[in-house]
Structure 1
Amino acid sequence: MSAKHILINGASSGIGAVLAKLLAAQGHKLSLCGRSATKLSSVINSLPTSSLPSGSLVHSESFCVSDHSRIAQFCQQASEKLNVDVIINCVGINQSRESAVGVAKDTLDWHMQINCYAPIEFINQLAPSMQSHKAGVILNVLSTVCLFSNPGIAVYSATKAALDSFTKVMRKELRSDNIKVLSIYPGGVDTDFREAQRPNYLSAEDVADAIATMLSTSDKAHIHELVIRPAIEDNY
């Protein structure tokens, strides 16, 4: 893939942070956002820039993606500096271990805001320009919870599955505009997302490498859905 302007949310930690460094090293321009200003600044300071005389960073901002007005502002400012070619929705939370029966509405609403509504709002802000240019890539980082059912993660599973269903419809709707709509489904990943370390799980680098491969195919080749699991995982 030739050098692109890639917008990544959830870029202050985990998969998003590692992916930003990898794509900058490949020569891409980046617009990055994350909730933590301190962590996002650390990621930006670590971006490789030796191969890019003007630097890899186009735009950055820290905010909570539950605020759709901030999403709109961020996307507009990034687009004004350079047309956005690729959206990567890395943002997500998994803060509930409640049983499905009796789950608190506030808990479900909050996870829907972050895991489903926010990625859709980024797409709503940027896809119209892609449609007018008849080119673009939208990549959603989903989860293998979309593919199986485990007790104790009803909220996370439901909110990720909602985005998965939305993505599948959007993929067909945007096909005539020459826009790739891609989904990656990671299994267990050993990041700060988890309370305990899981060294036998995938690393953020494993997932970032897989995403980079999905982005590297020719215009006529679409890796619509890619499932990546650690070797120890057998819940499929």
Structure 2
Amino acid sequence: MTKHILITGASSGIGKQLAIKLSQQGYTLSLCGRQQKKLNNTLEQLDDRVKIYSETFCLSELDSLTKFVKHAQKKLGPIDILVNCAGLNSSRAPASDPDWKQLQHMLDINYFAPLRLIHAVLPSMRERSRGIILNVLSTTCLFANPNTAQYSASKAALDMHTKVLRKELNGSGIKVLSLYPGGVNTDFRAADRQEYLQAEDVAEAALSMLFTSDNSHIHELIIRPEIEMNY
């Protein structure tokens, strides 16, 4: 049976590259993104032989998020793999003077939305005693950098939640994976950084985590560009 994979942030960057690669391998996909034009560009690059369901909305919209999961499962069946790929870094405010509005927005996108999605797909995974949850985090969870406090905190919250969830689901047949990319050259950044990882590099790393034997479980994987020394 072809696995049904749900990917957030599929309209650009890592999520887009992962969707393209998975479609080439014949997987059934449910995709969401914030901008219809960008998501359409992703859809145009997918293998037209695979089943696809997509919706456009902001992950901070709780009703839209819940309906998306419901519609996806009704149309394409239970979700076998959830990839929480969408992320947001909307402020460089210093730790001593937070941008409260943007901090809340980053928590909504980087922490609460992935939790809502996990909560929505877990019942079916528990019933079938199988499933995979992959959270795309950041190496900012692993070191401190000036002017990244708010983004780092939102990602670190998901990081710790993921670690606890992994232990709680141990022995259930459900794998919980953490991927920590370093600097990635995507639309996420204002300036082009060719010396950083490309989105395709991180997508390949995600694939290496997702498709292992039933008896192996890659809990955590860190991928950095060669130039990065934050370790």
Structure 2 residue identity aligned to 1:163: L
Decide whether the 8 Å contact of 1:143 with 1:184 is kept in 2: yes
Deviation, 1:128, is: 1.0
Structure 2 residue runs without a partner (length 5+): none
Residue aligning to 1:145: 140
Counterpart in the other structure of 2:33: 34
Structure-1 residue corresponding to 2:185: 190
TM-superposed deviation, 1:165: 0.4
1:91 alignment counterpart: 86
Partner of 1:131: 126
- Superposition deviation, residue 56 in structure 1: 3.3
Kept in 2, the 8 Å contact 1:47–1:56? The answer is no
Cross-structure match for 1:210: 205
Matched with 1:227 is 222
The aligned residue for residue 77 of structure 1 is 71
Aligned to 1:122: 117
State the SS of the aligned residue for 2:197.
Answer: coil
Amino acid at match of 1:139: L
1:66 is aligned to 2:69: no
CA drift of 1:3 comes to 3.2
Per the alignment, residue 43 of structure 1 pairs with 42
1:179-220 deviation line (CA, Å, top 9, x unaligned): 000010000000000000000100000000010111110011
Query: Under a length normalisation based on structure 2, what TM-score does the superposition of the two structures give?
Result: 0.97
Match of 1:22 in 2: 21
State the alpha-carbon separation in 2 of the partners of residues 176 and 66 from structure 1. Answer: 32
Distance 1:46 1:206 in 2: 18
Deviation at residue 41 of structure 1 after TM alignment:
1.1
How far residue 66 of structure 1 moved from its aligned partner, in angstroms, is: 0.2
The residue number in structure 1 matching 2:5 is 6
* 1:84 counterpart SS class: coil
CA drift of 1:129 comes to: 0.8
Query: How far apart are residue 127 of structure 1 and its match?
Result: 0.9
TM-fit CA distance, 1:176: 2.8
C-alpha deviations, 1:70-93, integer Å up to 9, x for none? Answer: 111000011112111000000110
Q: Which residue of 1 aligns with 2:155?
A: 160
Contact preservation (8 Å) 1:75, 1:125: yes
1:104 Cα deviation (Å)? 2.5
Q: Give distance in 2, aligned partners of 1:176 and 1:12.
A: 34
- Secondary structure at the aligned position of 2:175 is classed as strand
**Distance in structure 2 (CA, Å) of the matches to 1:56 and 1:18:** 17
The list of structure 1 runs, each at least 4 consecutive aligned residues, that deviate by more than 4 angstroms after superposition, is none
Partner secondary structure for residue 176 of structure 1: coil
**Alpha-carbon RMSD:** 0.9
Amino acid at match of 1:177: S
Provide the rounded CA distance (Å) in 1 between the counterparts of 2:29 and 2:191.
31
Aligned length: 230
Three-state SS of the structure 1 residue aligned to 2:66 is helix
Q: Could you tell me which amino acid in structure 2 is paired with residue 6 of structure 1?
A: I
Tell me the distance in 1 between the aligned counterparts of 2:145 and 2:205: 25
CA offset digits 1:124-143 (Å, max 9, x no partner)? 11111101110000000000
